Each structure stands twice: as C-alpha cells, then as structure tokens.
C-alpha cells in the first residue's frame, strides 16, 4: 500500500511541470508518461469534428510566455509555472503601460501569495495569472508582454486502457487530464486511475474495466460522441478527481441516485468506518456531468477526497506537490479496490429450493449439533442468501438487510452455488 502510494506520488511529480490544456502537446506528454505504466490506446480527434452539441476546438500549444519590465527582467514567467498563462491564450507580443495590462491580469486578492488558474477556451483572449503580491510590487510603467502560443487546426487527444473481464459489461473509470500544474486536480486522480488499472490487469475481473483519460468536458463529450453506440455496455462508472489531498473521502452519487455504484460506494465507505461524505448528484462538477446528462444517464458517480471548491487551494498554485500525499492516494486506491471488489461479486441469485429451507446439514453446510443459542455468521449468511434469493435482491441487498459483512455473504453465496442450491 505504501509502495503504491510512493509510486503514485512519483508519477504525480513527473506530470506536475507539464502544461496541460484541453488539447495540445502537454496532454500528449502526459499520456506518454502514463503509458509507461499501462499500455494506453491514444485517440486523436481533428479540430472541427462535431461532437454532440460541441465542436472540437483548435489545438493550443505554447512555448513561452512572460511579462518583462522596462529593464527586460521577466516579472511573470511561464517557465516558472504553467499556471502563469491564461489557458488557451492567443499569441501576443506588445508593450503597454501597466494600467492597460491590468485588464489581462488575473490574481487572487484574498490569497495574495497564490497564482490562480484561469482559462478562456471558447473566447479568444490572452492573459496572465500571477500572485497579487507580485502585481502589487510592480511599479507603473511600460511592460513587454509576450505569449508564444499557437492556436491552430490540430487534434484533441484522449486515451483508453481496457482491462477485459469475464463479461463485456463495462465499468468506466474516467479522469480529466486537462489541468496544468495542479497536483490534486487532477494528477492524483490520474495516478490513482493508473495504479488501479495496473492492479486490475493482474486479475480477470468480472466486469470489463475501461479507463478513460480525457480533457474535461470536451473530452468526455468527445468520448461519448464517439462511443454513443456502445454506451449501453457501460453499467457502472466512476470519475476520479481530487484524489490525493489530506481530507476524508467524498462520494458523489450518480444522477440516478440509486445506481448500483452509488449503493456499492455508500456501503464500502460506511463499512470501512472511514470518515467520509456521500453527496447527492448535482449537475456541476467533473465529467460525471456528461456521463450523467439526462440522455445518457449512466450510473457514474464521482470519488474525491475534498471536492472542487471545497478547499481554498482549489484551482490555485497552492494545489501543488505538498498538497497531495502518497498516503492519501493509497487510501483512495484502496477504497476503489474494495468497491470494485464488491461490485464484481454483487449478483442476484435465485433460490432453487425455495419451498421451506433446504436441508443444509446433509450437504455439509450446517453444524450438526443443535440447540445452541449462537449460530455462526457463515450459517446465518447462508440462511439470508437463501431467504432473499428471489431474483429481486442482490448480495448487497442481503448484506444491508442482514448486517453481515459483504464478504461473508458473498462467500456463503459461493458455497450455496457450489451445492447447486442457488443459481445466478
């Protein structure tokens, strides 16, 4: 666990300096690094492609950007942090007084030492983000502004990795890859997804697990547009975001509110006795917005530690490598593993001997000595599975009704299945 945590943290460190956006070479470089851990399939979708109600935008790439004072000193420099430039800034090369420049500067007055993260994807703008302290220290006068960016026809890039399961029914795990140097949002999510994928690939899970690495909103929309015919295969899903901070876990339900993933995550979090929060769906957040849009309405929830907007460091330079930890990411990973473990074993069985109890004793499934007031959990679990296996109750239902651990219930179901008393 600690090892996985440390490895995930190393991955986050490697990805941190890259300037990601919704398109461009930063995304490609990110996916290349992830591809060292798991074999990714990358897709390039041309600018102008119609995707649902949207159009794939021009590709944005940036090489350099700075504000220099009259002495030529770079007072704001993209080379120091990818956050310094407004995402999707058009190129600019000009000299102007500070008074005119101010309209293009974004700061966070309430956190004067932090640099905000800002973008302007769909309206041509240029701008810089900087600390309020930096701005306050700038004397009036002329400044040179330079953004060496390209906004041109190109591609939107996303990637997938599929862990085949026993059945073609799919679980999707989706994380956004469009944010620049923000550690929790979403390098931690990328790292957890990647190690989850790597671990699942060691096994043959019941479901087929599809990992999606795509830019937020437009990426998920592109994936949905290109997979609209196959989306019925997606039975469950999880969006991973803000997965590495020190806060406790937060699960946000799917729009359905009672999808199986919602029940599984709620159960696993409660049963684990971790402090946690379960929130109802709202149409604001990460790409669950798209997966849960009413036309698709997939059973996709979202797992985070502290959620977007729930911490002051959100979308600022303070969401840095100190803000995430190996331990927190390892914990998020562990909960995902537990949840998918439950999801994979959660079945509805049918009791094939539903009239009266079947005689468990002669099948070696029951203690021979009667009269005792204690009954073993395993026997209780068998009675519960037999009682509720009417085709309407899943093992998770049995678990919740009985108060027994899911694993005990699932193991009892295996024994009954082995004895031919129930069928899936």
Nearer to its own copies, 50 or 202 (CB): 50
State the minimum distance, in angstroms, from the CB of residue 380 to its own copies. 6
Q: Is 188 helix (H, G, I), strand (E, B) or coil?
A: helix
How many CA atoms lie less than 13 Å away from 395 in the CB half-sphere?
26
Nearer to its own copies, 335 or 381 (CB): 381
State the minimum distance, in angstroms, from the CB of residue 366 to its own copies. 9
Residues 252 and 238: their CA atoms lie apart, in Å, by 10
Nearer to its own copies, 252 or 339 (CB): 252
Residues 144 and 96: their CA atoms lie apart, in Å, by 7
State the minimum distance, in angstroms, from the CB of residue 168 to its own copies. 22
Residues 244 and 12: their CA atoms lie apart, in Å, by 10
Nearer to its own copies, 220 or 339 (CB): 220
Nearer to its own copies, 236 or 289 (CB): 289
In contact, 207 and 167? CB cutoff 8 Å? yes
For the beta carbon of residue 293, count every other beta carbon within 10 angstroms. 16
Residues 97 and 112: their CA atoms lie apart, in Å, by 22
State the minimum distance, in angstroms, from the CB of residue 318 to its own copies. 12
State the minimum distance, in angstroms, from the CB of residue 160 to its own copies. 18
State the minimum distance, in angstroms, from the CB of residue 391 to its own copies. 9
Give, in order, the Cα–Cα distances in Å from 184 to each of 70, 72, 276. 37, 35, 18
Length of the chain as a residue count:
424
State the minimum distance, in angstroms, from the CB of residue 61 to its own copies. 18
Nearer to its own copies, 230 or 401 (CB): 401
Of 164, 380, 401, 379, give the one whose Cα is nearest residue 263. 401
Q: Which two tokens stand for residue 415?
A: 């024994």
State the minimum distance, in angstroms, from the CB of residue 70 to its own copies. 29
State the minimum distance, in angstroms, from the CB of residue 330 to its own copies. 27
Q: C-alpha angle with apex 192: 82 to 348, nearest 5 degrees? A: 145
Nearer to its own copies, 266 or 358 (CB): 358
State the minimum distance, in angstroms, from the CB of residue 20 to its own copies. 13
Contact residues: its own copies, CB under 8 A: 52-54, 87, 116-123, 125, 217, 220-221, 224-225, 228, 255, 280, 282-284, 289-290, 292-297, 308-309, 314-315, 351, 353-359, 361-362, 368-375, 380, 383-384, 386-390, 401-402
State the minimum distance, in angstroms, from the CB of residue 66 to its own copies. 20
Residues 74 and 89: their CA atoms lie apart, in Å, by 18
Residues 6+ apart with CB under 8 A from 229: none
> Quick one: DSSP state of residue 4?
H
Alpha helices in 35-144 (DSSP H): 98-101, 132-137
Instruction: Give the DSSP per-residue string, 189-214.
Output: HHHHHHHHHHHHTTS--SSEEEEEEE
Residues 279 and 240: their CA atoms lie apart, in Å, by 15
* Inter-helix orientation angle 2-15/188-200, to 10°: 130
Nearer to its own copies, 128 or 384 (CB): 384
Give, in order, the Cα–Cα distances in Å from 248 to each of 72, 277, 305, 310. 47, 8, 5, 12
Nearer to its own copies, 168 or 257 (CB): 257
Nearer to its own copies, 142 or 367 (CB): 367
In contact, 263 and 343? CB cutoff 8 Å? no
Tokens 């942090």 correspond to 81
Nearer to its own copies, 217 or 277 (CB): 217
């Amino acid at each position: 666990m600690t090892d996985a945590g440390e490895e995930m943290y190393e991955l986050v460190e490697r990805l941190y300096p890259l300037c990601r956006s919704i398109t461009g070479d930063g995304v490609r470089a990110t996916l290349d690094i992830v591809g060292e851990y798991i074999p990714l399939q990358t897709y390039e979708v041309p600018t102008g492609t119609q995707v649902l109600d949207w159009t794939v935008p021009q590709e944005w790439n940036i090489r350099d950007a700075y504000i220099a004072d009259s002495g030529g000193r770079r007072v704001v420099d993209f080379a120091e942090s990818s956050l310094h430039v407004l995402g999707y800034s058009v190129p600019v090369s000009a000299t102007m007084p500070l008074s005119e420049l101010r309209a293009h500067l974004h700061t966070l007055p309430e956190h004067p030492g932090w640099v905000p993260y800002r973008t302007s994807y769909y309206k041509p703008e240029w701008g810089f983000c900087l600390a309020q302290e930096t701005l306050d220290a700038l004397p009036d006068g002329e400044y040179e502004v330079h953004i060496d960016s390209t906004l041109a026809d190109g591609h939107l890039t996303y990637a997938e990795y599929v862990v085949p399961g026993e059945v073609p029914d799919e679980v999707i795990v989706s994380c956004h890859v469009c944010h620049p140097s923000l550690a929790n949002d979403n390098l931690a999510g990328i790292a957890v997804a990647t190690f989850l994928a790597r671990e699942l690939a060691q096994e043959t899970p019941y479901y087929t697990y599809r990992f999606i690495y795509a830019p937020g909103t437009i990426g998920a929309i592109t994936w949905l547009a290109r997979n609209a015919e196959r989306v019925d295969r997606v039975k469950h899903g999880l969006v991973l975001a803000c997965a590495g901070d020190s806060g406790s876990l937060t699960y946000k339900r799917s729009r359905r509110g009672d999808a199986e993933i919602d029940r599984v995550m709620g159960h696993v979090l409660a049963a684990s006795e971790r402090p946690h929060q379960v929130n109802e769906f709202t149409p604001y957040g990460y790409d669950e917005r798209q997966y849960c849009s009413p036309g698709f309405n997939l059973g996709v929830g979202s797992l985070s530690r502290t959620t977007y907007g729930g911490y002051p460091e959100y979308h600022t330079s303070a969401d840095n490598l100190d803000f995430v930890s190996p331990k927190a990411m390892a914990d998020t990973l562990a909960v995902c593993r537990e949840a998918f473990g439950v999801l994979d074993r959660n079945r509805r069985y049918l009791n094939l001997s539903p009239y009266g109890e079947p005689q468990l004793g002669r099948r070696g499934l029951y203690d021979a000595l009667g009269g005792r007031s204690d009954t073993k959990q395993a026997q209780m679990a068998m009675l519960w599975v037999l009682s509720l296996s009417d085709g309407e109750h899943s093992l998770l239902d049995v678990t919740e009704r009985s108060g027994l651990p899911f694993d005990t219930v699932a193991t009892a179901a295996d024994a009954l299945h082995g004895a031919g008393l129930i069928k899936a």
